Structure 1
Protein backbone atom coordinates (compact mmCIF):
# COMPACT_ATOMS: atom_id res chain seq x y z
CA UNK A 1 0.00 0.00 0.00
CA UNK A 2 2.96 2.32 0.60
CA UNK A 3 3.99 1.95 -3.04
CA UNK A 4 0.60 3.24 -4.19
CA UNK A 5 0.77 6.19 -1.81
CA UNK A 6 4.29 7.03 -2.98
CA UNK A 7 3.23 6.75 -6.61
CA UNK A 8 0.32 9.12 -6.08
CA UNK A 9 2.52 11.57 -4.23
CA UNK A 10 5.20 11.52 -6.94
CA UNK A 11 3.25 11.52 -10.18
CA UNK A 12 -0.21 12.67 -9.25
CA UNK A 13 -3.60 11.09 -8.97
CA UNK A 14 -4.56 11.00 -12.68
CA UNK A 15 -1.37 9.23 -13.68
CA UNK A 16 -1.70 6.73 -10.83
CA UNK A 17 -5.30 5.93 -11.83
CA UNK A 18 -4.26 5.57 -15.48
CA UNK A 19 -1.51 3.10 -14.58
CA UNK A 20 -3.91 1.12 -12.38
CA UNK A 21 -6.50 0.91 -15.16
CA UNK A 22 -3.90 -0.10 -17.76
CA UNK A 23 -2.71 -2.94 -15.54
CA UNK A 24 -6.27 -4.18 -15.05
CA UNK A 25 -7.05 -3.81 -18.75
CA UNK A 26 -4.02 -5.86 -19.77
CA UNK A 27 -5.39 -9.03 -18.15
CA UNK A 28 -8.75 -8.55 -19.84
CA UNK A 29 -7.06 -8.03 -23.22
CA UNK A 30 -5.13 -11.28 -22.82
CA UNK A 31 -8.38 -13.14 -22.10
CA UNK A 32 -10.08 -11.49 -25.07
CA UNK A 33 -7.18 -12.38 -27.37
CA UNK A 34 -7.31 -15.98 -26.24
CA UNK A 35 -11.07 -16.13 -26.84
CA UNK A 36 -10.71 -14.65 -30.33
CA UNK A 37 -8.01 -17.17 -31.22
CA UNK A 38 -10.18 -20.03 -29.97
CA UNK A 39 -13.15 -18.72 -31.95
CA UNK A 40 -11.03 -18.50 -35.08
CA UNK A 41 -9.87 -22.08 -34.64
CA UNK A 42 -13.43 -23.27 -34.12
CA UNK A 43 -14.64 -21.44 -37.24
CA UNK A 44 -11.85 -23.02 -39.32
CA UNK A 45 -12.69 -26.47 -37.93
CA UNK A 46 -16.38 -25.94 -38.66
CA UNK A 47 -15.61 -24.81 -42.20
CA UNK A 48 -13.35 -27.82 -42.82
CA UNK A 49 -15.94 -30.29 -41.55
CA UNK A 50 -18.52 -29.26 -44.17
Structure 2
Protein backbone atom coordinates (compact mmCIF):
# COMPACT_ATOMS: atom_id res chain seq x y z
CA UNK A 1 0.00 0.00 0.00
CA UNK A 2 2.80 2.42 0.85
CA UNK A 3 4.46 1.54 -2.42
CA UNK A 4 1.39 2.64 -4.35
CA UNK A 5 1.24 5.98 -2.52
CA UNK A 6 4.95 6.47 -3.08
CA UNK A 7 4.61 5.83 -6.82
CA UNK A 8 1.64 8.19 -7.09
CA UNK A 9 3.58 10.88 -5.24
CA UNK A 10 6.69 10.37 -7.36
CA UNK A 11 4.85 10.27 -10.69
CA UNK A 12 1.73 12.32 -10.01
CA UNK A 13 3.43 15.51 -8.93
CA UNK A 14 5.65 15.87 -12.04
CA UNK A 15 2.69 15.08 -14.27
CA UNK A 16 0.51 17.73 -12.61
CA UNK A 17 3.28 20.34 -12.75
CA UNK A 18 3.94 19.56 -16.43
CA UNK A 19 0.28 19.90 -17.35
CA UNK A 20 0.00 23.15 -15.38
CA UNK A 21 3.03 24.64 -17.13
CA UNK A 22 1.86 23.52 -20.57
CA UNK A 23 -1.52 25.17 -20.05
CA UNK A 24 0.09 28.42 -18.87
CA UNK A 25 2.61 28.47 -21.71
CA UNK A 26 -0.14 27.78 -24.26
CA UNK A 27 -2.11 30.79 -23.03
CA UNK A 28 0.95 33.04 -23.17
CA UNK A 29 1.78 31.74 -26.65
CA UNK A 30 -1.71 32.67 -27.83
CA UNK A 31 -1.24 36.19 -26.45
CA UNK A 32 2.12 36.54 -28.19
CA UNK A 33 0.66 35.30 -31.48
CA UNK A 34 -2.12 37.89 -31.25
CA UNK A 35 0.39 40.66 -30.56
CA UNK A 36 2.53 39.63 -33.52
CA UNK A 37 -0.53 39.65 -35.79
CA UNK A 38 -1.48 43.14 -34.58
CA UNK A 39 2.05 44.40 -35.17
CA UNK A 40 2.07 42.90 -38.66
CA UNK A 41 -1.17 44.71 -39.50
CA UNK A 42 0.15 47.99 -38.06
CA UNK A 43 3.39 47.76 -40.01
CA UNK A 44 1.69 46.83 -43.27
CA UNK A 45 -0.80 49.70 -42.94
CA UNK A 46 2.04 52.23 -42.68
CA UNK A 47 3.66 51.08 -45.92
TM-score (norm 1): 0.65
Match of 2:9 among 7, 13, 30: 13
Measured on the aligned residues, the alpha-carbon RMSD in Å equals 1.9
TM-score (norm 2): 0.68
Give the Cα separation in 1 of the matches to 2:40 and 2:7.
48
Unaligned runs of at least 5 residues, structure 1:
1-7
Aligned residues: 43
